């Protein structure tokens, strides 16, 4: 199990859009982790300040579970060429790897195909960019040198899984490990200005960010 940390730093987000924006981001990340079979073991934490949106998901599996696919083939008794074609398309080498099963339409050959689960770092590369760009801001904008639309220009993005950077395809924006400004903040001041959407203390975000800035 690992921790997903996503931090988005931008120019100031209008106050009326902050809660709705972080609420959508938290919800879509939760849904996409669940759909990818890597749900967080604990409630996802989300935070927002005028220039920052943060998602922290604890207890995310290291990889998707392996999956078994049962693929139906030709009817038992079908021509040999049809069965051989089914073997090739299924990546199997011999007839002995097939099983037989009864269906309402007759008796058929079946292939049991095992698909190894994908590492979570790879899955996050696919699901996180769409969550970021999919926030339905009432108003969004582009800025010079970027085709990305967001509520305000993004300055930097941190996306870490279990301490490792997750590269994201965000119109050429580099995903980094640390935010240069974060080490200059006073934790007490940060805790007093952040709005957190869970019942735990705000200083959890501060300590997590400081760990990130230190390179964890």
User: Are 125 and 45 part of one and the same domain?
Assistant: yes
Question: Please, what sign has the CA dihedral across residues 29, 34, 38, 42?
Answer: positive
Whole-number pLDDT of residue 30: 94
User: Are 106 and 137 part of one and the same domain?
Assistant: no
Distance CA 215, CA 196 (A): 24
CA angle 106, 108, 109 (to 5 degrees): 170
Q: Which domain does 176 fall in, by range?
A: 2-59+118-213
Whole-number pLDDT of residue 206: 38
What backbone phi and psi angles, to 5 degrees, belong to 172? 85, -5
User: Are 33 and 122 part of one and the same domain?
Assistant: yes
Local confidence pLDDT in tens for the 216 residues of the chain: 889 999 998 889 999 999 999 999 999 999 999 999 899 998 999 999 999 999 999 999 988 888 888 888 898 988 989 988 988 888 888 888 888 888 888 899 998 888 888 899 899 999 999 999 889 999 888 777 777 888 898 888 889 998 888 888 887 666 776 654 443 333 433 333 344 443 333 333 433 443 443 343
Whole-number pLDDT of residue 164: 87
User: Are 89 and 128 part of one and the same domain?
Assistant: no
User: Are 198 and 143 part of one and the same domain?
Assistant: yes
Distances (CA, A) of 157 to 2, 92, 110: 19, 44, 47
User: Are 81 and 52 part of one and the same domain?
Assistant: no
User: Are 38 and 77 part of one and the same domain?
Assistant: no
Q: How far apart are the first and last CA of the chain?
A: 17
Helix, strand, coil share of the chain (percent; to 5):
30, 30, 35
User: Are 184 and 148 part of one and the same domain?
Assistant: yes
User: Are 129 and 106 part of one and the same domain?
Assistant: no
* Domain count within the chain: 2
CB distance 85 to 42 below 8 Å: no
What backbone phi and psi angles, to 5 degrees, belong to 173? -70, 130
User: Are 28 and 72 part of one and the same domain?
Assistant: no
């Amino acid at each position: 199990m690992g921790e997903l940390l996503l931090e988005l730093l931008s120019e100031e987000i209008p106050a009326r859009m902050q809660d709705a924006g972080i609420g959508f981001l938290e919800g879509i990340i939760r849904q996409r982790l669940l759909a990818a079979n890597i749900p967080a073991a604990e409630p996802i934490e989300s935070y927002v300040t005028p220039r920052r949106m943060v998602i922290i998901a604890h207890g995310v599996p290291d990889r998707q579970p392996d999956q078994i696919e049962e693929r139906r083939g030709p009817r038992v008794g079908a021509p040999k060429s049809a069965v051989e074609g089914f073997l090739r398309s299924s990546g199997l080498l011999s007839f002995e790897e097939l099983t037989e099963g009864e269906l309402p339409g007759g008796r058929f050959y079946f292939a049991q195909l095992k698909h190894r689960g994908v590492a979570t770092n790879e899955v996050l590369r696919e699901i996180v960019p769409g969550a970021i760009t999919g926030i339905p801001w009432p108003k969004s904008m582009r800025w010079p040198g970027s085709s990305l639309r967001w509520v305000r220009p993004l300055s930097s993005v941190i996306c870490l899984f279990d301490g490792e950077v997750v590269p994201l395809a965000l119109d050429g924006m580099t995903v980094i490990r640390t935010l240069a400004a974060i080490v200059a903040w006073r934790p007490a001041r940060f805790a007093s200005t952040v709005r957190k959407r869970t019942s735990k203390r705000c200083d959890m975000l501060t300590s997590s960010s400081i760990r990130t800035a230190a390179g964890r």
